[in-house]
Amino acid sequence: MRNMFADAPRTTLTAFYWAFLLYLLLPLTLMMAMSFKDANFVAFPIGDWTLDWYAKVMQDKQFLEACLYSVMIAAASTLAATTLGTWIAMLIVAEGIKGQVIIFALACLPAVVPGMISAISLRIFISTIDMPTGTAAIILGHTVHAVPFVVVMALTRLRSMPGNLVDAARDLGADSVVAFFRVTLPYLKPALVGGMIFCVLLSIDDFVRTFFLGGYRPTLPMLIFAKVQGGMSPEINAMATLVLVVTAAVGLYAEYLTRRARTR
């Protein structure tokens, strides 16, 4: 049965997959390679190699401050988004509440509004409530952005939860708050940890919301954007490579966690 002809689509698809992977990885690999170039202009071929740009980046106060600022904003918005997202998911699966389809649609709204428009509407919104641009506004914007993803992740897990777990806890005398914290929350934990890491990456990655809601203190993407507009230098490559390595490691870890949660 097996002949060359029957295998042709399979071989083509395999080749296509690897070509696509190469396409995905090539620009990033080039970007990383360029960070080792021993010259202060960005151009191929690379010629001499150096680690000087990394040394320079690690001493760059602006970069370190931007890192710290980004992490702080990510932590705050993740905490807020996880709490709110879980709460909304609990409301959607609750029995005896009407209009759950509408609540779900509202919860997903920020995920379908294009990023630019979401940023503009938030900029207008904070001005109508007299909130200044800056840290608090950025955190609010990132939280709005992240909530739909937490809701969807928490819902997926909640739907797979046997209903009698909470019933059993209630029969044994736990009130609904206790049942939530002792039974539902531990069950949700794997999904929430994956969701939280996703929120952190969303926040660290976000450019457009920060651009409209931020003050003068730059977050990481703002800093890189400003530097790229100011002129190319392998220093930016070194900066981007550092950020890429850290976020990719965190992302892979999140993948591993959600995968483990699913198989359990």
Partner 1 sequence: MVSSNTTAGYAGGRDASVPKYSTGIAKVVNSALYRHTLGAAVESRIGRVMLLTGVPLIWLVMMHVGPIYQMLKISLLSHYPVQPGVESRFTLDNYAIFFKESLYFTPLIKSFIFATTATAVTLVVVYPVAYYVAKIVKPEGRSKALLLLLVPFWAGELIRTFSVIMLLANRGAVNVLLREIGLIDRPIPMLYTSFSLGFGLVYLICLYMLLPLYSAIEKIPSQYLDAAADLGAGPFTRFRRIILPLSKDGIVSGCSLVFLTCIGVFATPMLLGGPTTVLFPETISGFFHGASDKWPVGAAFALIMLVTALITAGIFMRLVGGKKRSAF
Beta carbon nearer to partner 1, 87 or 135: 87
Q: How far is the CB of 145 from partner 1 (least distance, A)?
A: 10
Q: What is the residue-wise DSSP string for 21-44?
A: HHHHHHHHHHHHHHTTBSSSS--S
Beta carbon nearer to partner 1, 61 or 171: 171
Beta carbon nearer to partner 1, 78 or 143: 143
Whether the Cβ atoms of residue 209 and residue 138 lie closer than 8 Å to each other: yes
Those residues with Cβ within 8 angstroms of residue 62's Cβ, 6 or more apart along the chain or in another chain: 218, 223
Q: Which tokens in the block code for residue 242?
A: 């550092």
Q: How far is the CB of 154 from partner 1 (least distance, A)?
A: 12
Q: How far is the CB of 221 from partner 1 (least distance, A)?
A: 5
Whether the Cβ atoms of residue 154 and residue 89 lie closer than 8 Å to each other: yes
Q: How many CB atoms are closer than 10 A to CB 61?
A: 7
Q: How far is the CB of 108 from partner 1 (least distance, A)?
A: 8
Distance of alpha carbon 147 from alpha carbon 83, whole angstroms: 9
Q: How far are the Cα atoms of 31, 84, 98, 171, 177 from residue 102, in angstroms, in the given order?
A: 45, 17, 9, 32, 25
Task: Name the strand (E) or helix (H) holding 238.
Answer: helix 234-263
Distance of alpha carbon 100 from alpha carbon 180, whole angstroms: 20
Beta carbon nearer to partner 1, 71 or 208: 208
Beta carbon nearer to partner 1, 119 or 196: 119
Q: How far is the CB of 257 from partner 1 (least distance, A)?
A: 13
Classified as helix, coil or strand, 49 is: strand
Classified as helix, coil or strand, 94 is: coil
Q: How far is the CB of 55 from partner 1 (least distance, A)?
A: 21
Helices vs strands, H then E, count in the chain: 12, 0
Q: How many CB atoms are closer than 10 A to CB 89?
A: 26
Distance of alpha carbon 165 from alpha carbon 142, whole angstroms: 34
Q: How far is the CB of 240 from partner 1 (least distance, A)?
A: 5
Q: How far is the CB of 72 from partner 1 (least distance, A)?
A: 18
